[in-house]
Amino acid sequence: MRSHSSRSKKMAVLEIYAHPVLHRYKTSICTKATVFVFACFLLTFIPPILVAYRSQGFWQREATYREQPDVSFKHQILLLLQTSQTGDYLVWSTYQNFNQLQQGRVRVPLVKSREEDSNRDGKSDALQMTVEVPLLDTEEVYSVDLLLFFQYRLYIFSTFTMECMAYLHHTSPLPGADLTVAGDLRLHQKYPLGHTGRDTRFNTSIIDSTSIFPSAYDLRTIFESYSGRNVSTNFLTYYPVWRTGRATGQPFVISATVRYPEETILYKPGFWQLIKWGWVQYISILLVFLFVFDRIKTFVFENQILNTIVDSPTKKFKQG
């Protein structure tokens, strides 16, 4: 009977509106409550930053992005063939000073190259090239060193330009008829790039083509200085095919496919990106602390564990 009446009473009452009641707790400046609130303030805002920082990865020191480089073959070549096992060699390069130094060792090849844009996005995707080196029947090729020079550009973050190099190399104890390689021109970074600006630190000639001294064209010199660069490229090929059996009067043929793949590039994020990611981490931890300390403060002041003057809308007259 009783329950029935209470249910009917409940059913009759509707909550049609609600608003929070604000309780104000007041005290003077030199009290425990003030110290407590101040301590709560510090404990709310300082620990999140410590938690975020000490759990590692707070400041985003480096980030990556992907970009297909804009590579173009500079039509500059340096070619070296070992034509006997006793040290005879043939060379050719597009550097006339070098050719002039080598005189009788120079054998001008027939070089054909083209750059393909297979996906038609305006950037070349691969270089196809063939080098036909005419040889006498008495000359046998045991080793090939071929340097190809490229212009390498990146645009998305820092506008990066450099001259870079692909080094094709193969040695065989068997005299060859042709060499076929296919590989990728991969970016090699020692340090992250900047996030903005124009970067032409390495847009310098790898070979000093104005030099009339042989040392400028020595592979040891070239590689020594090139490997010291912070940013360079490597030609990576795992599948060279060296075929033997060169027929009478046939040239030695080098066929190369150099692909320009999309690269994952490391860069240093800018100030605002740093701040943004820090803020995201800080605020997510801060929310937990705010909630917890809000509950603690509510508990402490609601139960008057620390004495304060309660300025409550419902208890206003009682306190006054």
Which residues are at the interface with another protein (CB under 8 A)?
65, 67, 70, 75, 83, 88, 94, 96, 99-101, 103-104, 106-114, 119-122, 134-139, 155-157, 195-196, 247-249, 251
CB of 248 to another protein, least distance (A): 4
Q: Give, as one character, the DSSP assignment of residue 114.
A: E
Compute the least distance from the CB of residue 276 to another protein, in Å.
Answer: 12
Q: Smaller CB distance to another protein: residue 83 or 237?
A: 83
| For the chain, counts of helices (H) and of strands (E) | 6, 14
The residue (of 39 and 110) whose beta carbon lies closer to another protein is: 110
Sign of CA dihedral 83, 144, 212, 95: positive
Question: How deeply is 101 buried, as exposed, middle or buried, from its count of CB atoms within 10 A (0-12, 13-18, 19+)?
Answer: middle
Residue 225 or 244: the one with the smaller Cβ distance to another protein is 244
Residue with Cβ nearer another protein (280 or 309): 280
Shortest Å distance, C-beta 7 to another protein:
29
Q: Which is nearer to another protein, 23 or 175 (CB)?
A: 175
Tokens 């009339």 locate to 212
- CB of 319: closest distance to another protein in angstroms? 36
CA gap 115, 150 in Å, rounded: 12
Decide the pairing of beta strands 159-189 and 198-199. Answer: parallel
* Secondary structure letter of residue 215 according to DSSP: G
* Least Å from the CB of residue 104 to another protein: 4
Phi/psi of residue 70, each to 5°?
-95, 95
